[in-house]
Structure 1
């Protein structure tokens, strides 16, 4: 007897990770702190702020709206402050906050679409809209990183040109002159605003504000992403973290320019910011690519699914029970946003009736879904053995 049955459930509004989760959980390491375990005072504050958005719907929408409004304020504050204090790094940081604002909008749209129930057009649900959102956010990061990198590069050339012209004749001046003259459009982008010199130290306060606020947004968004098992919310959290890194680099770039005004540390800081953002964006895109191409879940996840079914195998082997499930083989899984679709082969005795096979299938599906809330569907092929 060989037949294929399926068990399916609708996506739940809240997904809680099991012990074998393969998405990041509430335990992070960063340059801002060595460890973060569980909710803290900042998360409690976030919960109170999110209560103001209860009318916006679920927790994913609430945390995204909170980040969106925060990014509006940060973009305006850092942009104006960067212009007034003549800080290229702070202006680059404001540009990154603007990309975060766009990322929040994409996240909110894709998150809400992914929570729609299945339709005739999308019988497997809308979960892959989360993957689409993750891909879009990663492209925002990559594009923003390249733009900021080129901008900072041209500012650095302008600063080096000014430095070379002020130096006495010698080998150093000759090297700087050769470097700037060999670079394309070395003088075309100076357009009269030399941010490399004369940076107002007050810019430090605004860079510090960006570090603290964006790291806080990263932590609370990551926490909700783990609870909802959502890749698009996780991508948005990483977007917040990359902005925190860019603000941190901007802080040290401004500080260095203030202490050593004749060195072009500010545009160098902008270049470092762009590299950090680019790395984050490529990492997110690589993760989303697996979902888009239906890559299988990792080996440790497949092994965890098999271990989850071991009690059923033990029960079948008991002398007091009728043998049913003999072995589980060929376990596979693929992700679609926050959901996992699983299929496997179950070996059963040839004497098993169709009715008993149906009950066994239901038991297998219930066991897996109880252990991993993100499992949306389980398809089982029964194979009889002597």
Structure 2
């Protein structure tokens, strides 16, 4: 006759079962592929820079996640003001749109800061399993901000493109090209206009695009890629999905600034071509792709998907030394886990002799929990179910 009992310990989150599919839903923060480098591994230089910057915010936040988010918040305020003013004075619609994206990053930083701080609160009577899923909530919200920003930028650039083509057609002599452009602009479907229409024309002398806009677009690329790297460095160390989402939000601005750089350059070289609004549409597509990736990443958390097979195998291997050294632990079965933000909750079945006392079972459970938590710092809680065998 088999007897069973359950005991638990507190510390982090993951969901797992031997029959579960091998999906990680975007929680692997080891490295990132990007157009800036084929493998953007966290370097010691990025970590050192992050440490120096966060020390300046030590009095305003007690943890690394808070400090790095405050660094990003201050940087985004500066970038929004600089790129917005530069876009206005250089008559670059692309740069103004890029400033609007930096402004959306301010909202993302605010959501990240609130959700990160909430997720670190200790369990309460209302939330006995802790507040870790506020990280998932924050990641989802940041992703939705990105979706909204991508749609707004896309619609704005679309309207600006139609306006540019229409003006170009009106200035052309009668002919097949003029007729083609007129037909295209008149037949194009209207789309809702989200955001502000800046209406900068490239055909009038006082509104000609100033090539100095290139410097500000380049500043955006460098600053936002740097913010991405230092934020991702902390996200990897804290295994935080919401910090990773904020880092990706930074990188989306780096992407947009890079495309804007080439759009402004192209508009300067070929002023008759609508490269500026086309650049905005390309950026919109890039940002939408990243936001969809973020939403897919939190889908597993929201649906309580299990941890991947590789993680389960790693957890089982972690217990191999304990299996070899403890005669009362016969086998480990049915390791499962589920995620909540950056935390993992694990449960497993341990086979023990039916002669094992309750006192020894309690001590064995403590060893199992301590062993797993020592190897995987993201594990918040380990529940052990004992099954006795003859």
How much does 1:344 deviate?
A: 1.3
CA displacement at 1:102 relative to structure 2: 0.4
Q: 1:94 to 1:153 in 2, by over 3 A?
A: same
- May I ask how many residue pairs the two structures share in their alignment? 371
Q: 3-state SS of the aligned residue for 1:54?
A: coil
> 1:80-105 CA deviation, whole Å, 9 max, x = no partner?
11111111111111111011010000
For 1:156-187, what per-residue CA distance to the aligned partner results, in whole angstroms no more than 9, with x for missing partners?
A: 0011111222333333322221111012449x
CA distance in 1, matches of 2:354, 2:105: 58
**1:7 has 2:14 as partner:** no
- Indicate the SS of the match to 1:376: strand
Q: Using a 3 Å threshold, how does the CA distance of structure 1 residues 325 and 282 change in structure 2: closer, same or farther?
A: same
Structure 1 equivalent of residue 356 of structure 2 = 352
- Post-superposition Cα deviations, 1:23-64, rounded to whole Å, max 9, x if no partner, equal 444544422234444434454333222211001221111100
Instruction: Give 2:244's aligned residue.
Output: 234
The alignment partner of 1:284 has SS state of helix
**1:55 counterpart = 2:59:** yes
TM-score, structure 2 as length reference: 0.89
- Larger mean CA deviation between 194-203 and 206-215 belongs to 194-203
Correspondences of 1:1-386 after superposition (within 5 Å): 1-10=2-11, 23-25=27-29, 27-56=31-60, 57-185=62-190, 193-196=199-202, 198-316=208-326, 323-386=327-390
- Matched-pair contact (CA < 8 Å) for 2:92–2:200: no
In structure 2, what is the Cα distance between the partners aligned to 1:145 and 1:251?
Answer: 18
CA contact (8 A) 2:221 2:258 kept: yes
For CA contacts below 8 A with separation 6 or more, give which structure has more relative contact order: 2
User: How far off its partner does 1:354 sit?
Assistant: 2.0
Q: Are the aligned partners of 1:88 and 1:196 in contact in 2 as well (CA < 8 Å)?
A: no
**Cα distance in 1, alignment partners of residues 114 and 130 from structure 2:** 16
How far residue 10 of structure 1 moved from its aligned partner, in angstroms, is 4.5
2:123 is paired with a residue whose SS is coil
Q: Distance in 1 between matches of 2:91 and 2:59?
A: 41
What SS does the corresponding residue of 2:306 show, helix, strand or coil?
Answer: coil
Matched residue of 1:352: which SS?
Answer: coil
Asked if the contact 2:156/2:197 (under 8 Å) is kept, the reply is no
> Contact conserved, 1:88 with 1:195, CA < 8 A, in 2?
no
Give the Å deviation of 1:228. 0.8
What is the RMSD computed on CA atoms of the aligned residues? 2.2
Q: 1:116 to 1:81 in 2, by over 3 A?
A: same
- Tell me whether 241-250 or 286-295 shows the greater mean CA deviation: 286-295
Q: Which moved more, 1:165-174 or 1:327-336?
A: 165-174
